Amino acid sequence: MDTLSIDQSEPLPVRTPASVAELSALVTQTRAAKHGVYPVGGRTTLDVGLPPIKPGVALDTTGLNRVIDYPARDMTITVQAGITVAAVQAALAKEGQWLPIDVPTPERATVGGTIAVNQSGPRRFGYGTLRDYVIGISFVADDGAEVKAGGRVVKNVAGYDLMKLQIGALGTLGVVTQVTLKVKPKPEASAAVVFGCDGGSLGPVLDLLHDSKSRPVAVEVLNAAAWKAAGLPPAVAAEWIVAVGFEEKAATVAWQRETLLAELKTAAVREVAEVADASGLWAATTELQLRSDSSNIRKASVLPSKTAEALTKLPAGLVHAHGLTGVLWYHGDATVAGSTIRRGPPLTKKSAPRPGAVAPDWELMRHVKKTLDPDNVFNPGRLFGDL
């Protein structure tokens, strides 16, 4: 029997239901045994969250991997949660469409798992996050019943907004089985402007980008170590490297690129270079979020206006950030105030301060958990610790 260990837990037997009915029966049986259900998909983010606190089963959703409905003219797609993000993008590409969400290892990451960890990347500045694209969802609750919220049309106000609860819940509120997503036309062109600057100039440079007449979809800031780790060209000899990306019609991208280059002439930057197709750049910076060589990864959010200040105060390590959204990533052994541990040894995660120490809405989140999953069946301990 296939088994799986999560954060050095005792091996969990893996079950891969081929239908929602099988999944529901498994949830019902597991709850009756007072065990836990640990949903897994592509297994790319198993180290996100705290260690399990109950014996149970690892519920592999990859058997639910079909496209249910794709009315391309309506610009929506309905898929089962175990389908990979790459498979969804491939289906959309046939109609010149895409889901503009950056996901590490999309060929393995499932849609359900991406929703569970609320994955996003560089393009969140221009396109938003999954909360902007999930318009319908189905999940199996603790009694084995499949609950549905939202619908398959963009303008839908039916029912409670249970979709938002599942996004970022780390699978603690039920097992997502099906999702309807709003999609967009694929941009005609993509380009980026890359340049370097020192720590003292980073703040004014980000202010310039905020006030720019151009409209970038991504503004990534990396220190020299992160740029090297991502294996990105061109080689920029600077303390900080900034990549600014544009995606639109070809003529629009050209105008925005030229506009930014003109604005940078008066800025304290150097080694300005252009990247004709920025898709590889965003993929590489997104992959840093799950960098295999980093044993400790922390994520923090600050006010966008404080991004430069926060970055320059971080301890030595590999650092990257979504420059105009205030989302920072730090790879290193130091503790970063106000951050969440995205990867780290189980003992470190267990001893870290509970989010309640810094998040005033923590008790509300715990209340939702206890209301929807009173027996603590789904991913027990993984997000909330010992309730």
Residues 293-336 have pLDDT tens digits of 999 999 999 999 999 999 999 998 999 999 999 999 999 999 88
pLDDT for the residue numbered 163:
84
Query: Mean pLDDT, to the nearest integer, of 369-379?
Result: 94
Query: Mean pLDDT, to the nearest integer, of 89-95?
Result: 98
Please state, in angstroms and rounded to a whole number, the distance separating the CA atoms of residues 192 and 207. Answer: 18
pLDDT over 90 percentage in the chain: 81
Residue 153 has pLDDT above 80, yes or no: no
Residue 373 has pLDDT above 90, yes or no: yes
pLDDT for the residue numbered 154:
63
pLDDT for the residue numbered 235:
78
pLDDT for the residue numbered 43:
95
Residue 151 has pLDDT above 80, yes or no: no
Residues of the chain with CATH 3.30.465.10: 62-185
Q: What CATH architecture applies to the domain 189-331?
A: 2-Layer Sandwich (3.30)
Please state, in angstroms and rounded to a whole number, the distance separating the CA atoms of residues 122 and 216. Answer: 11
Closest CA to 312 of 199, 219, 221, 159: 199
Query: Mean pLDDT, to the nearest integer, of 188-216?
Result: 97
What's this model's pTM, rounded to 2 decimal places?
A: 0.93
Residue 358 has pLDDT above 60, yes or no: no
Residue 12 has pLDDT above 90, yes or no: yes
Instruction: Calculate the average pLDDT of the chain.
Output: 92
pLDDT for the residue numbered 207:
97
Closest CA to 159 of 174, 169, 149, 151: 149
Query: Mean pLDDT, to the nearest integer, of 73-91?
Result: 98
CATH number belonging to domain 62-185: 3.30.465.10
Contact by Cβ (8 Å): 166, 378: no
Contact by Cβ (8 Å): 118, 148: no
Band (349; pLDDT cuts 50, 70, 90): confident
Q: Which residue has the higher pLDDT, 302 or 355?
A: 302
For strand 327-331 and strand 297-301, is the pairing parallel, antiparallel, or unpaired?
antiparallel
Query: Mean pLDDT, to the nearest integer, of 79-89?
Result: 98
pLDDT for the residue numbered 150:
84
Residues 235-258 have pLDDT tens digits of 788 999 999 999 999 999 999 999
Residue 49 has pLDDT above 80, yes or no: yes
Q: In terms of C-beta density within 10 A (0-12 exposed, 13-18 middle, 19 or more buried), how is residue 269 classed?
A: buried
Residues of the chain with CATH 3.30.70.2190: 189-331
